[in-house]
Chain A
Amino acid sequence: MTRVEMRVRYVKPLVFMLCLMPFGLLIARGASGALGPNPVEAITHFTGDWTLRLLLATLAVTPLRRLTGHVWLVRYRRMLGLFTFFYAVLHFTTYLWLDRFFDLGAIAEDVLKRPYITVGFAAFVLMVPLAITSTQGWVRRLGRRWKTLHRAVYAIGVLGVLHYLWLVKADLLEPAIYGVILAVLLGLRVPWGDLSRRLAARRRRRPRVAPERR
């Protein structure tokens, strides 16, 4: 068996199981009554936390691949992205069902009036087309446009962190940590090298002093 085959056979199921573990833990806590005095709040926070964590893990794949040169990492990006969506669906369902009991009036009021819900809702809505078009078929069908569409994940990241940041009352530490990690992951994508080269080129074109002889 080649190394690639090894990875596909063992590492992929392992990553799958790891991504599923928080869900298993949630079920275990629910079944054993270990969700605490306010179980709905506990489920909401738990699924929200894991949505953000997996979103950051998804966004970490490309920078990691570039830094380490391990191209195979990209093979896990779709799985991480879909698990992000999985926890987002759980989070959203908890809100719709256990928190609001499908009271559409109250939900509409929340989405329109409460900024943290507005951005959280927007992030979720944006995730739907990305999840749908994550299959090989859609990648082929959309061609170049697929990449453009899936850049929406950057917006989702920003909206997701804002959603958390705007909901806390006083202690901004945790959302700030997510924010810093997101900023680093997005910052790594900016082609700084290209930018500095372009700036340097512009400086050369408009020299304030006589250019040095090379």
Chain B
Amino acid sequence: MLIKKPADILPSEITPEQVWQRRREFLKASASGIGLAALGLAGTAPSRVLAGDAIPNIQPSPLSTNEPPTSLDDITSYNNFYELGTDKGDPKANARFLKPRPWTVTVDGECAAPGEIGIEDILASFTQEERIYRLRCVEAWAMVVPWVGFPLGDLLKRFEPTSKAKYVAFETLYDPEQMPGQKRRVLDWPYREGLRMDEAMHPLTILSTGLYGELLPNQNGAPLRLVVPWKYGFKSIKSIVRISFTEKEPPATWNRMQANEYGFYANVNPAVDHPRWSQKTHRMIGDGWLAKKRETLPFNGYGDQVAGLYAGMDLKRFF
């Protein structure tokens, strides 16, 4: 008799225990909420997306802060990622649409060796470090995130930027099927951001591939995102598919949309208010609802390392 051996289950298909636990919690929570849900008052159902596998050989970094990291749950359920929806909980709920494999990043522009690089190559070629950074959102809230990643400069050097390369431009994937938020023109898609060359080459600036030791969850910008810890969060563009060296300042999405509210530099600066709210303080996510806001520091507390990049610049003008 022929007994067919079932196909092996891929490790990536097995639901991690944490996720399974969370489903139970969700079922319990929704059972009590069914009455309200029927009236349309309850929130949308959370849909946890597999954060993926652990990243091997992560090295610690002296550039990490020793502040306690925000919980994984908060980092993965409170996101500004308009490509997956404009509410903070939307990116998690819509995360399943994004397919971070296969993934290729095109690098072009003012460089001697333009080309493409796949995400697997990126993970294998660059030493992955843990960088625990403060993240300050332009909306006056903050987190501490244990990113995994590597210096952006290491990747840029590979493509041999020329002397004409004064800026680096970044672009997020444009695919409304994978990014349902792009079906409405809330922003001028695809999302774009840019850095000055010296900012891009700064050792604090990283490309992140993961957090909490695992591959990036989709809602946090899988599979590859920028992290610039002294700038407001919107500079740290997610799900990058293109990196270009340019001679002129490249367009940045929020800056193009509302230049008086979102500068190209967007350095964290308590002395320059957003026109609609103060930037002097912020709420640390996880502090609880009776906690006071915290004082925001210039350059998000990274002034010692990065203030020199802006010597002689009027930061109230170039905000």
B198 smallest CB distance to A (angstroms): 29
Closest residue on chain A to residue B187 by CB atoms:
A170
Q: Which residues of B contact A166 (CB under 8 A)?
A: 276
Contacts of B260 in A (CB 8 A): none
- In the complex, 16 of the A-B residue pairs with CB atoms within 8 angstroms, ordered by the A residue number, are A21-B39, A25-B41, A25-B42, A34-B43, A35-B289, A36-B88, A38-B78, A39-B288, A41-B141, A98-B290, A110-B277, A114-B275, A169-B139, A170-B82, A170-B257, A171-B82
Report A45 CB to chain B, min CB distance, Å. 9
Q: Does B77 contact A (CB under 8 A)?
A: yes
CB-based contact A114/B277 at 8 Å? yes
In the complex, what distance in Å separates the CA atom of A113 from the CA atom of B29? 42
Whether the pair B276, A25 counts as a contact (CB closer than 8 A) is: no
State the CA gap A40–B29 with chains docked (Å). 21
Mark A residues whose CB is within 8 Å of B: 21-22, 25, 30, 32, 34-41, 43, 98, 101, 106, 109-110, 113-116, 166-167, 169-171, 173
Q: Do B74 and A37 have beta carbons less than 8 Å apart?
A: yes
Cβ 8 A contact of B276, one of A36, A40, A114? A114
Chain B residues with CB under 8 Å of A116's CB are 276
The answer on a CB contact under 8 Å between A170 and B276 is no
Interface footprint category on B: 20 to 34
Cβ of B289 and Cβ of A37 under 8 Å apart? no
B36 interface residue per 8 A CB criterion: yes
Smallest CB-CB separation from B284: which chain A residue?
Answer: A38
Find chain A residues with CB under 8 A from B276 CB.
114-116, 166-167
Q: Give Cα A173–Cα B85 distance, bound, in whole angstroms.
A: 12
Give the Cβ gap from A20 to chain B, nearest Cβ, in Å.
Answer: 12
Chain A contacts of B41 at CB under 8 A? 21-22, 25
| Residues A37 and B278 in contact, CB atoms below 8 Å apart | no
Q: Is B131 an interface residue when CB atoms closer than 8 A count as contact?
A: no
**CB under 8 Å from chain A, chain B span 276-297:** 276-278, 283, 285-286, 288-290, 292
* B86 x A38 contact (CB < 8 A): no
B89 at the interface (CB under 8 A from A): yes
Residue with the highest number of chain A CB atoms closer than 10 Å, among B43, B273, B289: B289
Establish whether residues A36 and B78, one from each chain, have CB atoms under 8 Å apart when the complex forms. yes
Known: A114-B276, A166-B276. A37 touches B186 (CB 8 A): no
Beyond A36-B88, A37-B285, A101-B292, list 13 extra A-B contacts (CB 8 Å): A25-B41, A25-B42, A32-B29, A37-B286, A38-B78, A38-B141, A39-B288, A39-B289, A40-B289, A41-B141, A114-B275, A114-B276, A115-B276
**A56 to chain B: closest CB distance in Å?**
16
- Using a CB-CB cutoff of 8 Å, which residues 1-52 of chain B contact chain A? 29, 36, 39, 41-43
Contacts A34-B29, A166-B276; is A171 near B74 (CB within 8 Å)?
A: no
Could you tell me the distance in whole angstroms from the C-beta of A30 to the nearest C-beta in chain B? 8
**Are A38 and B278 in contact (CB-based, < 8 A)?**
no
Cβ contact within 8 Å between B278 and A109: yes
